[in-house]
Amino acid sequence: MQTPAYRRVIVKISGEALSGPEEFGIHQPTVDRIARELLTAHALPVTLGVVVGGGNILRGVSVSEQGVSRPTGDAMGMLATVMNALVLEAAIERAGGSARSMSALAMPQVCETYERQRALRHLEDNRVVIFAGGTGNPFFTTDTTAVLRAAEMGCDAVLKATKVDGVYSADPKTDPTAKRFERLTHQEAFDRELKVLDATAFALARDTRMPIIVFSIHEPGAVAAVLAGKGRATIVE
């Protein structure tokens, strides 16, 4: 069995990752694959929390451009993250794992409300906790939520699943000279203005000295490989 390099982590999965080959919405085979990947990582063993985004359904900024207020648009965005959390929770349970969604927005008929102590207990009881509803506040993102929950849960790192296998000096899809980084400090990433997380999330990661590991969700087995310290990823610490 592999020895994990990290014992307790938050995996941040963007909404976009759940739409798989589609432009929008939830692609069930992709959700099922991600659920299996998470369970393989969980079995290393690693204590696992997941923060899901909502961009596959709705983003507050886009809604507010249509005339809805930004706080209302962001409330809609946070609701989208709850839908994604529920579909991921169901997929993890179907795959034989135990998962619990906890929303920062209270909706007790739908899922548990986020409470730090209860979340810690679920993690200790070996459940995968899916943190839904973002931070519960408008003007924030689920990247910030991932760093916040990681700090609250005493995690060793945030694993940020993206479309590419790490942090690059430029967009590797459009710039063939883009350089990929293996390891960076928070300060280096800041000084070079590299896009690791959005500015608020990055500031919190720097303040809390939270390592951020950027990897590709399209790479099969990537979550477990990264946790074992073997996967292809950029480590910012």
Which residues of this chain interact with ligand UDP, rule CB under 6 A? 14-16, 53-55, 59-60, 73-74, 77-78, 80-81, 134-135, 137-138, 140-142, 145
* Torsion sign across C-alpha atoms 46, 181, 214, 235: positive
Q: Nearer Cβ to ligand UDP, position 77 or 166?
A: 77
* Torsion sign across C-alpha atoms 126, 205, 193, 5: negative
Q: Nearer Cβ to ligand UDP, position 44 or 52?
A: 52
Q: Environment class of residue 161 by beta-carbon count within 10 Å: exposed (0-12), middle (13-18) or buried (19+)?
A: buried
Query: 10 Å Cβ neighbour count for 138?
Result: 17
Q: How far is the CB of 67 from ligand UDP (least distance, A)?
A: 15
Q: Nearer Cβ to ligand UDP, position 44 or 78?
A: 78
Q: How far is the CB of 49 from ligand UDP (least distance, A)?
A: 15
Q: Nearer Cβ to ligand UDP, position 147 or 155?
A: 147
Q: Nearer Cβ to ligand UDP, position 19 or 47?
A: 19
Q: How far is the CB of 38 from ligand UDP (least distance, A)?
A: 16
Q: How far is the CB of 177 from ligand UDP (least distance, A)?
A: 27
Q: How far is the CB of 83 from ligand UDP (least distance, A)?
A: 11
Is the distance from CB of 38 to CB of 50 less than 8 angstroms?
yes
Closest CA to 26 of 51, 48, 58, 49: 58
Residues near 50 by Cβ (< 8 Å), separated by ≥ 6? 10, 11, 12, 13, 38, 85, 88, 128, 129, 130, 131
